[in-house]
Amino acid sequence: GNSVTQMEGPVTLSEEAFLTINCTYTATGYPSLFWYVQYPGEGLQLLLKATKADDKGSNKGFEATYRKETTSFHLEKGSVQVSDSAVYFCALLNSGGSNYKLTFGKGTLLTVNP
Amino acid sequence: DTEVTQTPKHLVMGMTNKKSLKCEQHMGHRAMYWYKQKAKKPPELMFVYSYEKLSINESVPSRFSPECPNSSLLNLHLHALQPEDSALYLCASSQGITRGGANEKLFFGSGTQLSVL
């Protein structure tokens, strides 16, 4: 079956620090990979995605590269801001079948202090 | 308009009450979803509607009853809930449910925080 494992939080950083949140996956076939962000009191927003091996998704200074050889999709940002404080979810969508079901990781809480 | 609007934002209900959650989108999306999210957990898929027909029911108890009156609206009717049903209920929509390109982007609402007493 499909599964997503992401690093346990919480992660606490100072402003302008470098961020890495690790994500690895298990899936059959060729999944698409996503990072979603959830700000306090809100729903999820798609942050970035990659649909095939070696694709790099990027948005708002965040990047993640689809690594098939290591089954990973680690999220990185060179300089975090206080406004980046949120919960980050790694997710995959498998290519099999026509039904749409995202498999989410457990989420990583990021707190950025000024 | 790229919003999914959910009402109410907060709901407190007793175990004998009947209430409904509402979701609306005007992006022309043909797939709509209900997710349940417990605190500090990822969202769990409950139902998927495609072209106003129920496509996926993730073995959800019958005390949750979804309804899709038209392509823009999605309701979740609640009856005889249990305290363990307290959670954030998220609605989402996408262009379609088949894999490929823009269809893969889900737009989420801000959710309804439900408390069952």
Task: Identify which of B87, B84, B79, B89 has the alpha carbon closest to the alpha carbon of residue B15.
Answer: B79
Encoding tokens for residue B52? 């106003």
pLDDT of residue A37: 96
CA dist A62 and B106 (Å) reads 19
Chain B residues with beta carbon closer than 8 angstroms to that of A101: 45, 48, 56
Strands (E), B61-109: 64-70, 73-79, 87-94, 107-108
pLDDT of residue B102: 46
pLDDT in tens, A3-34: 999 988 899 999 999 999 999 999 887 888 99
Give the max Cα distance, chain A.
46
pLDDT of residue B70: 93
Tell me if B104 and A104 make a contact (CB, 8 A cut-off).
no
- Which parts of chain B register pLDDT below 50? 100-102
On average, the pLDDT of chain A sits at 91
Tell me if A32 and B42 make a contact (CB, 8 A cut-off).
no
pLDDT of residue B104: 67
pLDDT in tens, A61-85: 999 999 999 999 999 999 999 999 9
Average pLDDT of A36-40? 93
CA distances (Å), B77 to each of A42, B23, B70, B74, in order? 22, 12, 16, 10
Encoding tokens for residue A79? 């300089």
How many angstroms away from the CA of A81 is the closest CA of chain B? 22
- Estimate the share of chain A in helix, then strand, then coil, as percent rounded to the nearest 5: 5, 50, 45
pLDDT of residue B61: 96
Q: Given pLDDT bands bounded at 50, 70 and 90, which one contains residue A100? A: low
Encoding tokens for residue B46? 């409950």
Give the nearest partner residue to B56 out of A91, A99, A109, using CB atoms. Answer: A99
- B→A contacts (Cβ < 8 Å), by residue, are 4, 6, 31, 40-43, 45, 48, 55-56, 90, 92, 94, 97-99, 103-106, 108-111
pLDDT of residue A96: 55
Encoding tokens for residue B91? 């609605």
Q: Is A98's pLDDT higher than 50?
A: no
Residue whose token pair is 């022309």: B28
Nearest 10 degrees: Cα torsion A49, A44, A108, A3:
-60
Chain B residues with beta carbon closer than 8 angstroms to that of A109: 40
